[in-house]
Structure 1
């Protein structure tokens, strides 16, 4: 199943022609001040988020850029909703790492 997601994500990114995509994730990524962040990388991560996270999940995940402690608290939470969100978030993060790694290089 994961390979189909990766293939779909790569095909979608290729179809976009490298155009920039904006959203909660890309805005947070661009404003986080991390050295490795670039408009191209942040746009790639946003495109993966658009394919794998709901708008609500994207807004929640975007807060992790400014407040990494919030991510840690969510990961360690015993709340069922937090646990379900964390599984979706990790799947997104793993896919974004695979798909966007060439952009970061």
Structure 2
């Protein structure tokens, strides 16, 4: 079974960059930094930047900080996904939508 990080990076190779507008200056580059430091072969500056732009549009800063942790600790993603907490369930729905969109846009 592939880790969520690998799946996100692999999925992110699927769609054209032109489908996303410029990133929000507020959101920073939490996801991009985590992506670039993930030691994944698929990680590249353009790909990680694209994933960040999707994150800026779909995830809050708090969501981005949580998602960035998954790059270093994929098991944490599994814990959040399986959590019974309503807040984790809501986050997971947003995160899953983000991953699908990033996969479609950033290929």
Give the TM-score of the pair, scaled to structure 1.
Answer: 0.78
Q: Residues of 1 paired with 2:20 and 2:88: CA distance?
A: 31
Q: What is the Cα-based RMSD across aligned positions, in Å? A: 1.8
1:12 Cα deviation after fit: 1.3
The one of 5, 15, 21 equivalent to 1:12 is 21
| Contact 2:31/2:67 (8 A) holds in 1 | yes
Tell me whether 1:100 sits opposite 2:93 in the alignment.
no
What CA distance in whole angstroms lies between the structure 1 residues aligned with 2:87 and 2:56?
Answer: 20
Q: How many residues align?
A: 87
Pick from 84, 89, 92 the counterpart of residue 86 of structure 1: 92
- Choose between structure 1 and 2: higher helix proportion: 1
Rounded Cα–Cα distance in structure 1 between residues aligned with 2:103 and 2:35: 14
Larger radius of gyration: 1
C-alpha spacing 1:85/1:44, structure 2 compared with 1 (3 Å): same
**Is there any run of 5+ residues in structure 1 with no aligned partner, and where?**
1-5, 17-21
Q: Does structure 1 retain, via aligned residues, the 8 Å contact 2:51–2:106? A: yes
Give me the TM-score of the superposition, normalised by structure 2. 0.76
Unaligned 5+ runs, structure 2: 1-14
Partner in structure 2 of residue 74 of structure 1? 80
